[in-house]
Each structure stands twice: as C-alpha cells, then as structure tokens.
Structure 1
Amino acid sequence: MTPADLSLTVLHAVRRAVDEGALLVDVPPRVKVERPRPGGVGDYASNVALVLARAAGSTPRQVAEVLAERLLPHPGLDGVEITGPGFLNFTLRLDAQQSLVRAVLRDGQRYGHLPSGGEPVQPVHRSDVRAAVTADAVRRLLVSQGHPVRVACEDAIDPEWGLLHARTDVGYARGRLATTIAPLPVPYEAAELHRRFGVDAARWGLLSVAAHDRAGLTGELLHQHERNSLFRVRYAHARARCLTVNAAQLGFRSEPLQAVDAPELTALLGDHPTVLVTAARLRAPDRVARQLEAVADALLAFQHTVLPLGDEKPSAAHRSRLALAEAAGTVLAGGLSLLGISAPDQI
C-alpha cells in the first residue's frame, strides 16, 4: 500500500461514515497522510480527524474513533491507533512492501504522478537563467500532478534558455500574477553555463538547493566522486540497471515475493508521491533533488545484498531484493526526468 493508496483508503472511510450518518460533514477532496511525528506510532499518520472535528460538532478523538472503526478491517492495514488529541496512526501489513514495489514497477517513471484534471496554472518567472530553469522544473512538477501549465516571463524571453532545456511560453507577463518564481540569481548567462557544465550538471547546480540559497555551480559538479551529489544519484540509478543485467546473466529476474529488510529505502520509495505533491505545491524542485539524494544513498548501501555470493543459488529473497533495487532505480530516473536531467544506464 502506497501513501496515495492509504490516503484514498482514509478518504473512503470518511465517505462511508458520512453515508452512514456517523459523521455530518462535507467529504474533503483529499486526505493527507505522512510519516508519524515525534510521539506517533506505526508507518503513517493522518490529522484528518482534527480537520473534520469542528464541522462534525465533535472532538477530534471522537471523529478518529468513528474512522478507525471503519479502517481496522481493511486488508492492507495491520493496525490503526489513535494518538494525541486525535491523530490516526496506521501500521501496514508485512506484505505492504511488496505492494509498494509492484506499484512502482507497474507505474514506471510515472509513479507518484496524478491524472490530468487539476486547475490550470501559469507560473511567472523573473528574466534570468536560474529563474527560467527553476520555472521549467516547476512546470514539469505541476504537469506531473495533473495541472495544465503555461510558463510566463516578466520580461523578454531569452532563446538561449533552450540550451539548458528550459521552456517559457509567454513573455512580458509583469503584473499579471502575484506569485513569481524568483530564486537568488547567478552571475552567468545560459550559454556560459552550458559551455562550462553541460545541461545536466548546470540544471542540478541550479535546482538542487533552495531558492533562497546560492546555486551550487562549482567544478565539483563535473567530478565523478561521492562528494558530487549529482554523480551519486546517477551512479545509483546506473547500479540498479547493472544489477538487473547481472541478475539476468545469473538466470533470474526480479519479483517482489517477500519482504526485504530495507526499511529506510522502502520508506523513501513510499514517500516519493508525497514529495512530488509538496514540491509542486511549494514550487520547490530542490525538495525532489534532496529526496533523490536520500534514495540514492539508501540504494547504494543496500545494493551489496541483492545478488547471490559465491556458490549461492538465486532465491526468492534475491528476486525480492532485485525488485526493490529496480523500484529505487525507477524512482531515481523519474525524479531526474522531472528536473530535466538524464539518467544514463552506465557511468
């Protein structure tokens, strides 16, 4: 069960409670689930009871009890607990990891994307290269969350932004929208960034730090070294692809047959849809970059357990580990694509 699946499950519980007359509220369009905060328990938590309590004319804990009663029988949940004033805490079944891996491998690089139908959005950006590249990444994120998007610039469009694969649709948009994408500028034009770093490294340097921080445009971006976060992310993706090739040479393929002891990597994959939603809402592609770094580091620590060692025969455990590694590689490729950066199979 992915966070998106769990969110939908909780929403169905709310709708059922309303239909049965147990709650007299308007059914919200969506329900937020996230990792438990300090003091919480289980795998995920939701504050939906606190959100609905005032409209329901009940305490948050009473609302939580109504929802917990309808959630406990769900086959994907091993437990539902109420903590604090009325937080719902969920523990997933042991086979939840297999369901998560299957969902990632099924959806491919579109894992975490939402169907079209969102409100149209027109980001407006300042007329410098970092703002243009950031606006382009924001466009990609918003499209992934189902929004029709048209990017506008406050001034004239610079055709050289295309060297860094940044697309702006409309120029001279000053004053038409209140929210403008305006990260701290850099002292470079697009052509110089393209010449010095190339598309991928330049975009990573511009996008991987928060908008209010200086862009990480240093020579480190071009070094194949673990200190280079872009190299680690792309190398981890390449390692995932290499594991698939090596497994085929050993005569087996991936299949999520059983749970794998990799809680950090599993949690990061499960969080990916939420990261995309938040990054799109906050117009913050750096959140995707930071999550990709975390996935890459967890995958690189896990990779050594995937293939059989010595005379060991491939087992269900190896097939399951390979499936988890492939899912991690898929998330890395999809996240890089949303930042406009390539994910080579070999480095």
Structure 2
Amino acid sequence: MNPAQLLEALRAALVAAVDAGDLQADATVEIVVDRPRNRDHGDYATPLALKLAKSSGRPPREIAAVLARRLESTPGIARTDIAGPGFLNITLDVSAAGALVGEIVRAGAAYGSGTAMAGRSVNLEFVSANPTGPVHIGGARWAAVGDALGRVLTAQGATVTREYYFNDAGAQIDRFGRSLVAAARGEDAPEDGYAGEYITEIAAAITAEHPEAPGLPDDEALALYRRAGVDRMFAGIKATLHEFRTDFDVYFHEDSLHASGAVTAAVARLTDSGHLYAKDGAWWLRSTEYGDDKDRVVVKSDGDPAYIAGDLAYFLDKRSRGFDLCIYMLGADHHGYIARLKAAAAAFGDDPAVVEVLIGQLVNLVRDGQPLRMSKRAGTVITLDDLIDALGVDAARYSLIRYSVDTTLDLDLDLWTRQTSDNPVFYVQYAHARLCSLARSAADLGIELGDCYDPALLDTARESELIALLAAYPQVLRSAADLREPHRVSRYLEDLASGYHKFYDSVRVLPMGDADPDDSTVARLWLCRATRRVLANGLAVLGVSAPERM
C-alpha cells in the first residue's frame, strides 16, 4: 500500500462514517498523511481528526476512534492507534508495505511524480545576470537552485518555462562598452567601468574581427564594442550555464520592451487608471497602497523611464503569455522587489499572489579555512566557471542546492572535493554506485529477479525502515514544490543513502559461498532495485548524475 492508496482508504472511511451518520463532517476536506519520525508510532500518521473537530463539534480522539473502526477491515492495514490529542497512527501489514517495492520498480522514472500542480503555467525567471561579466557565484546558486526548482515543479505536473531576463538596456551596458573601448585602445578602464582579464580578451577578439574599430570616432567605437561585446559576453554566459546543466526556454531581452512600446503602454495604462501621480516633475506609482514601504518613481523628472517601468511592462508581458504564476528568483540586495512587484500586479488589477519572489543570500568559497580570493579573470568576483573548475558540475550543483537559499552559504572546497562519506554528494552517489555493483554481482551469479517477489519476506527492521524511506519520496517532492525548496530533495537522498547503507551492513542480500539464492534473496534484490531507482530519480531532479561505478 502506497501513500496514495492510504489516502483513498482514509477518504473512503470518512465518507462511509458521514453517510452512516457516525460523523457530521465535511467529507471533502483535504487529507494529509506523514511518516512519523518514531517508527514505533506506525508507518503513517494523519491529523485528520484534529482537522474535523471544529466542524463536527466532537473531540478529536472520538473522531479518530470512528475512523479507526472503519479502517480495521481495510486490506493492508494491520493496526490503527490513537495518539496524543487525536492523531491517528496507522501500521501496514508486512505484505502491504513491501508491495511498494514492486510499484516503484514498475513506475521507474515516474515514481515520485504527482499532479498537485497540473494545469498550472509557471514562468520561472532566474539567474538573469547582466551581460557585463561572467556569472558570479551568487548567480551560480540561482542557476542550480532555479533549475532544480523547475524540475521539482514539473514533477508535480506544472508546465514550467525557464526564463532568463537579458538586461541589455541601461547605463551598465554603456559602461561595459566604454570599458571595452578603453581596453582596445590600451587605456585605463573608466572610473565607473569594468575590469578583469575577460574585458581585455573580449576587446582583443572584437578588434581582431574589426581592426579599424579602435580608431573609430568615440560614438561609433562605443556602438560597435557595446553590441559585439554584449553578444560575446552573453554567448559565454550561455555556454557556461549549459555546461552547468542549466538551460533556458526563453531569453527575454529587456531592450525589446522599450523598442516595442510596451513600457510606454504600461505607463499609460497605469496613468489612465489613476495609479500614477505627478510629483516633482516625475511620475510615481502609488505602491504604498498595496503594501510597499514607499511609492516608486516610474518616469523620472527628465522623462526617461525608471528601471521599474521595465518591470511593469515585463509583468504584463508574462501575463499576456498565459502564465498564472510568475516566480522571480533574485539576489540578496533585491528585498524591495517583493512588495514592488506585488504592488505592480495589484495596480494592474491582478491578484498579487500570481507573483512570488524568492531571495537568495550570498555564497562564499572557503579553502583551508580561508575565504577564496577574487577571480583573476573576472577581476572582482568568484565566477561560476571558477566553481566548476574547483568542484566539477555534480558537486557544484549539489552543494548549492543542498541548503535553503535564505541563508548565507560558506562552501568548503576541501569538503566538497573529498572522496569520503563526509562529502554529501559523494555519499549519495556512492550509494547508487554500490547498488549498481550489487546488481552486477547478482547477474554474475545468474540470479534472475523475474516479474515478481514475495513482499512478505521483507520483514526485518532494516528492510521496514528502508521501505518507509522509499515511501516518503513522493511527499518530499510534493513539499519541495509547495514550499519552493528543492534542498529538501538532497537532504532526503542523504537519509535514503544512510538507510540503504545500514540495511546492506546488517542484512545479507547475496548468498554466501556456494549457498543457493532463495526467495528472500530475490525479494531483497527487488528492494535494492527500488532503492537504486529512487536515488536515481532524486539525483535527476537535482540535475546531478547517478554514476554506476565510482
């Protein structure tokens, strides 16, 4: 019996109790089951009785008793117990619990996926680094977490569009262009410009293609180096992200919003609706009416649009493309955008809930207990390329995804390059490789798994614990999607790897010496096969490989 089947059994028990008049309650209420931390409390627990107490006007323990009586005859349920204020603990019989192993094997790559977000169209915008330099370490965190979140949401049935907002408008692009011109002419970088070997390299490459460029008049040289430099920089960013296994469905150009008149139209719409007002020669959004800490300038006193004007037009563009949830993943210095973007949605008459803003904190690299110094090539920051060179793609992705993004992250390069169980990604990948080795050994012994096994033979404590961990995976994925926290998947995989290692160290899987395999051997190999599948599925959600040999 899997969690979905148990939910069906609980629903049937509730409906039957209501229909029989044993309970006065809403039979359509959402039902939740969880895995108890203490295995002595059963295989599953539900707070359903507590949830029904208010509407039914009865104590939760009485409600739990009514449901327990209805569940007693359900095939696969061995025992029900009422705990605390009214929690209903459910223990499955061994065969029902062990049957999950076969379901996992048959489901394959689909095991764990759900339909909680079916029908949702999600725009997931992340990284969106300015094309004025390589992706820095903060952007690397979003590249890993954003891609993993997209995979998690997709696993729950959502249609996800990964989008990169290409900031190719504004003063920073002009500063980038002037920096390239200075480098091409052998001059010092502008005071407000960009430095680093990458500037020199890009300028040299452009000059090689256009030998006349350095001698052009300043405005012509700026236009050429600006355009060609942005193209080269962005091509490099795309290549690095692709190597990092992070690809986007849409690369949206900020400049297109201005060129198409979308910014002007968005401003006009807010002006006509009375959501903008004039003050000190500028036009302001009444964002405080929607929870912002202050009103925001949309059109500056010189008539040029402020940065938020592009955000307003961009939000409208996303909604016009049919997205019913717009997730923005922004850096630590963008806290103000949470209220700002929600205020923009409300000003357009939309539900602010269609906007979600996730803020990621800083990342520091540490080696030998000391902070890693800046990248020589980038000049001012540690880059994603530096991280890939130091750790490799698997360890880099896993290390960035493993922690909640709302905490500052210190990555110890010594730890994440270590080939020991102290290294979390090595620990999980080693469990998968160990299971693959076990399968190869079984094949060498000529052991055939066949099409079935006896689930009742998976009856030891370690087997029960491992099956319980396997059963928890769908809910972990669901929680990771609901809470927008893909780090939950990595922590789960570490628990599963630990559960497998404990199982393997205490339960004989393959026969010893000249002993013949028996039905218990086959059942345990099925359990190992299911564990290997869930480890592979979880690593795939993180965009991390599942090696067969290590």
Return the TM-score normalized by structure 1: 0.90
Query: For residue 105 of structure 2, what is the amino acid of its counterpart?
Result: L
Q: 1:293–1:39: structure 2 CA closer, same or farther, 3 Å change rule?
A: closer
The two structures, once aligned, show a CA RMSD in angstroms of 2.6
Identify the match of residue 259 of structure 1 among 450, 458, 474: 458
Q: CA deviation at 1:217?
A: 5.4
2:526 is the counterpart of 1:327 = no
| Equivalent in the alignment of 1:200 | 394
- Answer yes or no: is the 8 Å Cα contact 1:269–1:331 preserved in 2: yes
Q: 1:259–1:17: structure 2 CA closer, same or farther, 3 Å change rule?
A: same
Identify the match of residue 139 of structure 1 among 126, 150, 154: 150
Deviations 1:205-238 (A, max 9, x none): 1111222141535143333222222112111111
* Greater displacement, 4-13 / 276-285: 4-13
- Answer yes or no: is the 8 Å Cα contact 2:143–2:241 preserved in 1: yes
Q: Provide the rounded CA distance (Å) in 1 between the counterparts of 2:491 and 2:71.
A: 33
| Equivalent in the alignment of 1:69 | 69
The correspondence of residues 233-312 of structure 1 with structure 2, limited to 5 A, is 233-254=428-449, 255-257=452-454, 258-261=457-460, 262=462, 263-304=464-505, 305-312=508-515
| Equivalent in the alignment of 2:97 | 97
2:359 is the counterpart of 1:182 = yes
- Answer yes or no: is the 8 Å Cα contact 1:202–1:217 preserved in 2: no
* Greater displacement, 322-331 / 192-201: 192-201
- Answer yes or no: is the 8 Å Cα contact 2:114–2:478 preserved in 1: no
* Greater displacement, 209-218 / 242-251: 209-218
- Answer yes or no: is the 8 Å Cα contact 1:206–1:215 preserved in 2: no
Q: CA deviation at 1:101?
A: 0.8
Aligned-residue sequence identity (percent) comes to 37
Q: Provide the rounded CA distance (Å) in 1 between the counterparts of 2:56 and 2:157.
A: 31
Identify the match of residue 246 of structure 2 among 135, 160, 166: 166
> What is the SS of the residue equivalent to 1:122?
strand
Bigger Rg, structure 1 or 2: 2
Q: CA deviation at 1:169?
A: 4.3
- Answer yes or no: is the 8 Å Cα contact 1:11–1:30 preserved in 2: no
Query: For residue 338 of structure 1, what is the amino acid of its counterpart?
Result: V
Q: CA deviation at 1:334?
A: 0.3
Q: Provide the rounded CA distance (Å) in 1 between the counterparts of 2:157 and 2:546.
A: 23
Gaps of 5+ in 1: none
Q: Provide the rounded CA distance (Å) in 1 between the counterparts of 2:516 and 2:532.
A: 24
Q: Provide the rounded CA distance (Å) in 2 between the counterparts of 1:290 and 1:39.
A: 19
The correspondence of residues 47-126 of structure 1 with structure 2, limited to 5 A, is 47-115=47-115, 117-125=118-126
Q: 1:26–1:324: structure 2 CA closer, same or farther, 3 Å change rule?
A: same
* Greater displacement, 263-272 / 186-195: 186-195
Q: Provide the rounded CA distance (Å) in 2 between the counterparts of 1:337 and 1:37.
A: 26
Q: CA deviation at 1:30?
A: 3.9
Query: For residue 321 of structure 1, what is the amino acid of its counterpart?
Result: R
Return the TM-score normalized by structure 2: 0.58
- Answer yes or no: is the 8 Å Cα contact 2:113–2:155 preserved in 1: yes
- Answer yes or no: is the 8 Å Cα contact 1:306–1:318 preserved in 2: yes
> What is the SS of the residue equivalent to 1:216?
strand
Gaps of 5+ in 2: 129-138, 168-233, 255-313, 315-336, 346-353, 364-380
Q: 1:37–1:221: structure 2 CA closer, same or farther, 3 Å change rule?
A: closer
Q: 1:108–1:13: structure 2 CA closer, same or farther, 3 Å change rule?
A: same
Q: CA deviation at 1:151?
A: 3.6
Q: Provide the rounded CA distance (Å) in 2 between the counterparts of 1:53 and 1:253.
A: 52
Identify the match of residue 149 of structure 1 among 160, 166, 176: 160
Query: For residue 270 of structure 1, what is the amino acid of its counterpart?
Result: A
Q: CA deviation at 1:78?
A: 0.4
> What is the SS of the residue equivalent to 1:181?
strand
Identify the match of residue 417 of structure 2 among 222, 243, 249: 222
Deviations 1:36-94 (A, max 9, x none): 36797222110011112212232222322222222111011001122222211101102
Query: For residue 356 of structure 2, what is the amino acid of its counterpart?
Result: T
Q: CA deviation at 1:137?
A: 0.5
| Equivalent in the alignment of 2:294 | none
> What is the SS of the residue equivalent to 2:411?
coil
Q: CA deviation at 1:126?
A: 5.8
Query: For residue 390 of structure 2, what is the amino acid of its counterpart?
Result: R
| Equivalent in the alignment of 2:403 | 209
Q: CA deviation at 1:260?
A: 4.0
Aligned residue pair count: 347
* Greater displacement, 181-190 / 101-110: 181-190
Q: CA deviation at 1:333?
A: 0.2
Q: 1:214–1:293: structure 2 CA closer, same or farther, 3 Å change rule?
A: same
> What is the SS of the residue equivalent to 1:78?
strand
2:523 is the counterpart of 1:346 = no
Query: For residue 531 of structure 2, what is the amino acid of its counterpart?
Result: A
Q: Provide the rounded CA distance (Å) in 2 between the counterparts of 1:169 and 1:217.
A: 32
> What is the SS of the residue equivalent to 1:33?
coil
- Answer yes or no: is the 8 Å Cα contact 2:362–2:408 preserved in 1: no
2:540 is the counterpart of 1:337 = yes
Deviations 1:253-272 (A, max 9, x none): 33532124223322211211
